[in-house]
Homo-oligomer: A and B are copies of this chain.
Amino acid sequence: MATQTMNRQFRLKRRPAGKIRAEDFDFVESPVPAIGPGEVLFSVLYLSMEPIYRLWLTDTDHDLPPVAIGDVVRGVGLARVVASNNDNWKVGDLGSGMFGWQDYAVPPPPALARVARFPANLPVPLRSLMGVCGSTGFCAYFGLLDIGKPKENETVLVSAAAGAVGSVAGQIAKIKGARVVGIAGGPEKCRVLREEFGFDAAIDYKRTDWREQLAAATPNGIDVNFENVGGEIMNAVLERMNKGGRVVLCGLISSYNDGARESGHLQALGNLLPVFTRRLTMQGFVFTDYAPRFGEAAKQLATWVSEGKIKDRDTVVVGLENAVDALNQQFDGGNIGKLVVEISAP
């Protein structure tokens, strides 16, 4: 199989302050590694862009230990096997895992064991395996259904609703019969929420009257908050929650670049008073905790997509060299739906 001979990698040079910049990394080239006994060489096709990457570049253990200075930047990708000394993987197999910001990866045994294999000849575009039928869809599926547990006619409020996970979470909530309200930035995203994704109402947080929009869009309060952002708007949402409501903590991106700091630790400050007095349940989760149920989720999500009940939107940034800008786009609200970086044309 024809492959390049050089492997490009983003290696962490220093801890970023605020948004990441090219100078925070070394973009280096080295020969594609040879594989030893039991090892597998993957060519990375797509790198999934996820806001949580920013947290991994801080010096604190969040869901995973920090990326060490000098290490390849951590990231989830879709990759194809191009060489294998391992009976479990053959050339041409497709897998999703922590391949990092690089062209080629030889995952060490623990990481290799966690690479999820996809069946051949799937009836969806490869990119969907990073999106609605992959990690993005899994976040929406398990977070909304296992933690949010929306009932028919309840009100579900989704923040960053035009983003990858939010747009899918909102559409699943609609399938379950909830009233769905999304928060997004700007009139075009709000239009897409209502007209393409079928949300009942959309709140443009860039308008100064967002509090009034929020009140108008949730006349019966809020039962489920599918939260991706955090900060001032989330706190206003919490104050509109009904007793017994559920808060799904899927992300807190408003804090990743420039959260409050206490004793050197990043903070995302939320108002706990309504959590207490309204008897809310707030739960954090990371989709990988649900790995044993990925098959169930993938099957259900693919069915919903094929039935037209979930619309799949994505944005592709071409070229590994553009990964820094692509990550920052997640925080600027620059894209609708899933954002992937195409590393190697499949």
- Show the binding face of A for B, using Cβ within 8 Å: 55, 62-63, 211, 230, 232, 235-236, 239, 249-252, 255, 259, 262-263, 265-286, 289
The answer to whether A252 and B272 touch across the interface, beta carbons within 8 angstroms, is yes
Q: Which residues of B contact A279 (CB under 8 A)?
A: 63, 283-286, 289
Residue of B nearest to A232 (CB): B262
4 residue pairs, one from A and one from B, having the closest CB atoms: A276-B284, A62-B277, A270-B272, A269-B269
- Bound-state CA distance A55–B283 (Å) is 25
Residue of B nearest to A243 (CB): B63
How many Å from the CB of A242 to the closest CB on chain B?
A: 12
Residue of B nearest to A270 (CB): B272
Q: Which residues of B contact A262 (CB under 8 A)?
A: 232, 235-236, 271
The answer to whether B267 and A235 touch across the interface, beta carbons within 8 angstroms, is yes
**Copies of this chain present:** 2
Interface residue from B268, B273, B286 paired with A272 (Cβ < 8 Å): B268
- Bound-state CA distance A282–B55 (Å) is 22
Q: Which residues of B contact A269 (CB under 8 A)?
A: 269-272
How many Å from the CB of A275 to the closest CB on chain B?
A: 5
Interface residue from B251, B265, B281 paired with A276 (Cβ < 8 Å): B251
- Bound-state CA distance A276–B273 (Å) is 18
Question: With A281-B281, A283-B279, A283-B282 in contact, is A249–B265 under 8 Å at CB?
Answer: no
The answer to whether A273 and B285 touch across the interface, beta carbons within 8 angstroms, is no
How many Å from the CB of A17 to the closest CB on chain B?
A: 17
Among A273, A281, A283, A285: residue with most chain B CB under 10 A: A273
How many Å from the CB of A185 to the closest CB on chain B?
A: 20
- Bound-state CA distance A69–B133 (Å) is 56
How many Å from the CB of A49 to the closest CB on chain B?
A: 19
Given contacts A269-B270, A275-B283, 11 further A-B contacts (CB under 8 A): A211-B263, A252-B273, A259-B273, A267-B271, A267-B273, A268-B272, A270-B271, A270-B272, A275-B282, A276-B284, A280-B284
The answer to whether A283 and B281 touch across the interface, beta carbons within 8 angstroms, is yes
- Bound-state CA distance A251–B273 (Å) is 9
- Bound-state CA distance A284–B281 (Å) is 7
- Bound-state CA distance A289–B244 (Å) is 10
How many Å from the CB of A53 to the closest CB on chain B?
A: 13
- Bound-state CA distance A270–B232 (Å) is 13
Interface residue from B235, B268, B276, B286 paired with A271 (Cβ < 8 Å): B268
The answer to whether A277 and B286 touch across the interface, beta carbons within 8 angstroms, is yes
Residue of B nearest to A273 (CB): B268
Q: Which residues of B contact A239 (CB under 8 A)?
A: 265
How many Å from the CB of A174 to the closest CB on chain B?
A: 25
